[in-house]
Structure 1
Amino acid sequence: MTKRVVVVTGGSGFIASQIILQLLQQGYAVRTTVRSLQKADLIRQMLATGGVTDLTDLEVTTADLTSDANWSTVMRGATYAIHVASPTPNRVFKDENDMIRPAVAGVRRVLTAARDAGVKRVVLTSAYGAIFAGHPHRTTPYTERDWSDVTAKGVHAYQKSKTLAEQAAWAFIKREGHGMELAAVNPVGVMGPVLADDYSHSNVQIYQLLTGQLKAVPHVDSGYVDVRDVASLHLLAMTAPEAAGERFLATTGETLSMLDVATLLRQAFPAFATRLPTRTIPNAVVKAAAWIKPELKMIASIVGTYAGTSNAKAVKLLGWQPRSAQTAILATAQSMIDLGIVTAP
């Protein structure tokens, strides 16, 4: 029997690599895209770390979100596509459209190629950033019904890019989808085991904490979720009939501060205790520093803001059961120690 082909964009990414791992384990054939085939060895390395060494059903090919080249070939014969690739949050930019335009154009490019190839359903990796931004007086948990207000003052370009890209995807499906289905997954802070020393921007916080780079931390609250559970939610969104036309907030429903994360790490890894901060930085100091250091603008835009989330929809509709935030955070740290990315004092 011929295996169903699933296209996964951006295969060398933190979330994408876990999605590929689970697809191969569940018997799918995977065709994944990278901007350069130099990333192919990294993908194989990560899959081996994750326990998959038989890569007979994996094809790695090149395609770039900024070009039409090769996308029609990438999608040929695929039943499903999972669009994970997106411009990485660049903390320093002259024009926010440099981040927004590629994200929106990339989504349309992938959806057009998928539709033309007869793909049944596309799952879009969106973000919590498309849900929470621009709501300064929030007091109740965010859900899938919420959208970031990109017109609000102080919303970072990354949150705008994720919001406008997801909105472009839903508009495309409505006007030009010709029956193709779409589901979206919106993860909060993604933790969990890293599979190589080329790790995601979402794990940088753990690296900085364990290496003693943060003497004090900003007052930033966040939801957290394990990358393995983000991947499993993508697969549920890909196949469940009831997931068509829906978006799913990938969160444990817990909210932790950066100081809470440091405390968890101190308790679990006492050898690193002397490096881990015990103080917070006043919000006003963080905001003032962002004027001097543009790379702090994204953090400054969210200090002191409410970050409660609900996973009720994914749990009830799809039967999704995520690990705890603590499990996800400690798995990140343990994997970094195991891979030698960080070493104890």
Structure 2
Amino acid sequence: MLAAQDKPKAEGAPERRIVPDIVRQHAEQAAFFWAQRDTLMESDPPDVDVVASVDRRLEANLDGLRIAGPAAWPYILAAYDDFPEKGELFLYGWMGIEQTDGRRVAEAVEFGRQGGDDARGLIGALAWHEPTTIAPLVRDWIGAPDAFKRFLGVSACLGHNVDPRQMLVRLVRDPDARVRATSLHLAGKLKRADLVEELRAALNDADEKSRFWAAWALTELGSGDLASPELRKVAVGGGADAMTALRAVIKAEPDKDVRGWMGGLLKTPENAPLAVRGAGMLGDRTLLHWLIHQMRTPALAVPAGAAFLELFPEARLEDSLFSVEPAVLGDAFATYFEDNPPYLPVADRVKDWARGL
């Protein structure tokens, strides 16, 4: 690790007077808040008000680093050296881009290439900056021989909803599976109807992620009839994309068909949680009392709580509706979760709350 006295000053940068402990704190807090934000956005469903609060604190710390300028680099280097995780990679990449420091950006790219989190931090840094700021990098990367740079380039387009136009035709056929999957996702997000045939062909891709994003994109383009089998398979599979697939199935298929499918899922213990969670995606508030009933079953309480919050986001303001206390939740929950339950809805309290609707 770099010792404090060995950390170099940024080359060619003017000397700035800083308070070292404050700048160190800005660096550590910025990395922490971005990692927290990223994790919160993965929640089901995410609490957008909490995320907005974290964003404000993150931006305040980034402002402190902007003011420190190149003098902040020793603390950014130390943060990554001590804890090379997604938040620290975000910070490294963000500062390199902020300072238009090609050497540091190149280092961040290599760190992202070596990391095991799919370069989330670096992609997050690209998303945090304005499109005009990162445009030169994206133009260079998106057509590069290096597959990882192409992946970063198309990921930046996805994060900013930017259309690479004719380049996307080539990217959805890219030899690299990660580039291909991200490009198919982008085609759906942009609703590129000219790529429908490419998306249909990608339903037979050897790569699972590419098949999934092709199916998702077809749903966005109104061709869900072609995509539904793949989306249902991914939803039932329970992987990282299961909730996105479930939401796409609900969007793609007639309400009657979706409810019939969910009714079938409810008949098997392994699939019942998926059906309960999907109920919250239907937008039907009349399901509340049915959801309260599901909350009384330990195996279904987590998806029932998530479905409830999606249908009734205002319930987040009521702290008493959820608990982690076995004594509050009941013996069945204490046994099922081995005395360590997650944050779960308390059915009786939700029922009392519902009377006021």
TM-score normalised by the shorter chain: which range applies? under 0.3
TM-score by length of 1: 0.28
Higher relative contact order (CA 8 A, sep 6+): 1
TM-score by length of 2: 0.27
